[in-house]
Amino acid sequence: MTTIGFTGAGAMGAPMVRNLLGAGHDVLLWGRTPAKLEGLVAAGARLADSPEAVASESDVVLGCLTDGPAIREIYLGRMLGVARPGQVFADHGTYAPQVAEEVAAAFAERGAIFLDAPVSGGPPGAEAGTLVCAVGGDAAGVEVLRPIAAAYTKKVAHMGAPGRGLMLKLINNYHVSINLTAAAETALLIERLGLDQAESMEVLFGGLADSACLRVELPKALAHEYGDANGFIIGGLVEVQRNIAELLASADFESGLFPFARELFKVAAVDDYDSRPAALTKYLPRTDG
């Protein structure tokens, strides 16, 4: 039985852990707040007392941490010192590609492998085991990850060198940011014109306008339901959008759409940081008071 270490079992990570357990893996967990992991422990996971213990006692170490500072703290500051030659570490969070390059280089010096392996599909995809994963880093490490990640993904794509998985994930979130803004504007326009909401959604979902963002957020925006975000919050995308802006700048790419979407998210996050993106409708420019 393969022992899988896991850190960052939050809205995305927790269902990934459940799927790993369901696939028969021995899962060793660490988190800053052990009480939040009680449900996973009850489901069969074991609890470690430190990130160092996770790295020392696991064959492969996975994570789904929140941002670059957390990546540096846990991987460089805590687990690097006990990493073994040939051991594979892969984090499914979203952060700056440069951080992945830094961490991968540090682990390579010890003969270990660090992969940036961000996933897309949100908590529902994590629960259903249908996430898609873009990976940057050592090809041999990707082949170690692939059968393990099959427990919660439907696709693992190797994009090349360290950081390149994150580059594609940031492009994904660039697209998502724009589509969520369009979904908010669509809701406002349907309301402004007084169109039948149910019929409008049926038509839009049946044509070329259809998208996952539209299906998830348009009904919520029209119903003015902004809570129950299940981790899919405005504030989380605001953090990622900083990295998107840096990626666009590094590619000397000027977007005509992203700056408006980013500014809308920033304004909305002041009072609705923890709300779902449907709440963007509250902050769109209006002339009707």
Q: What are 113's strand-pairing partners?
A: 88
Q: Which residues pair with 28 in a beta bridge?
A: 5, 46
* Rounded Cα gap, residues 245 and 72, in angstroms: 21
CB-based contact 16:29 (threshold 8 Å): no
- Could you confirm whether 169 is annotated as catalytic? yes
∠ CA(253), CA(258), CA(261), 5° rounding? 170
Measured between alpha carbons, how far is residue 35 from residues 84, 214, 231, 236 in Å? 30, 36, 18, 23
What is the DSSP-derived secondary structure letter of residue 66?
Answer: S
Please, are residues 137 and 162 in contact by the beta-carbon 8 Å criterion?
yes
Helix (H/G/I), strand (E/B), else coil: 40 = helix
CA-to-CA dists, residue 51 to 71, 73, 129, angstroms: 12, 10, 25
Beta bridge partners of 10: none
Say if residues 93 and 240 touch (Cβ distance below 8 Å): no
Q: Is the separation of the CB atoms in 6 and 29 below 8 Å?
A: yes
Question: In sequence order, what are the residues at sequence separation of 6 or more whose Cβ sits closer than 8 angstroms to the Cβ of residue 35?
Answer: none
For 11, 25, 168, 210, 257, the CA distances from 5, given in Å and listed in that order, are 17, 10, 25, 38, 40
Segment (H or E) for 135: strand 131-136
Residue 219, token pair as written in the block:
């009904």
The one catalytic residue among 155, 169, 220, 266: 169
Show which residues are catalytic: 169
